[in-house]
Amino acid sequence: MIWSPPRSQLPLYGLQVFECAARHLSFTLAADELCVSPGAVSKQIAQLEARLGHPLFLRGTRCLALTPAAEQLLPYVSEGLARMGEGLSALQALPQQQAISIKVPSCASRWLLRQLQACEGEAVEVRGSHSHGIDFSREPFDLAIVYQPCQGRAPHSQPLFRERLTPICAPAFAARHALFERPITDLLTLPLLHASADRRDWRNWFAAFVETPWLPRGGQLFDTLDLAMNAALQGFGISLGDPTIVAEELESGVLVAPFAPVLSTDHEYALLMRPDSQRAGVHRVHEWLCNSVQPLR
């Protein structure tokens, strides 16, 4: 029985140096090809000879010759290196895996990234956007999460979760203003963060839960819910936030929701796939995201 060493024990670099030196019958020319010094080539050959237990070269004053052991070994090494080269060339000829591109409203990107952490095996590129819709005829995305009215859903859209809004802030801000000890009506006097210039989110929330009319005045204005929630995270005030989107932040305690009421709006986040997509990976990610949540209708 012929013993073969495990692949992990094969002296691949030493065999590469041996093949190069044997092909040139010169340590100097082998060193030039391998971009190392002749001394490094000589050292590798000496280590390989010691490992194999056979001399590989007959070293003359100005010449180098193969020993019978080297002549027997060389065809196998040459063939093996050639086959590995063919394999690498074939791999390089394959088209590179194209990432699956997903467009998502910036405020929902943190939710999407959490879902994708458990979706293994696919290269995914996430593009945050201020736009809440998608036009696949003009935009080169495979999938898109859109923000849309529940009663006016886009054809073929798959609802993911309904928008819900509740006041959120940093725990230090809540402690400084004793928010867990104050009535909900005190929100009327606190610094509020707004996700739009018309302040519609807070307007709708107060209309649903506070009898006292709210007169908009002051407060920092932002152009996206994501920016308003990030400002709340940094302790600048109280923003409305979606508990589904900031679930991880609320669970870890970096954000708190000091007032209980949660407003379910008439909008939702939904998933759309490019209608003509034939890529199996796109369909797999679409199915994964559709199954990752229980839609709130």
CA quadruple 87, 88, 91, 92: dihedral sign:
negative
**CA distance from start to end of the chain:** 70
pLDDT recorded at residue 152 = 83
d(CA 277, CA 104): 18
Q: What is the pLDDT of residues 240-290, one digit of tens each?
A: 999 999 999 999 999 999 998 999 999 999 999 998 888 888 898 888 888
**Going by DSSP bridges, is the β-strand pair 158-168/100-105 parallel, antiparallel, or unpaired?**
unpaired
pLDDT, tens digit (0-9, with 9 covering 90-100), for 29-62? 988 888 888 899 999 999 999 998 999 999 877 7
Query: Is beta strand 124-129 parallel, antiparallel or unpaired with respect to 100-105?
Result: parallel
Residue 168, strand partner residues: 239
- In order of their start, the domains of the chain are 8-93 (1.10.10.10), 100-291 (3.40.190.290)
Indicate yes or no: pTM above 0.75. Answer: no
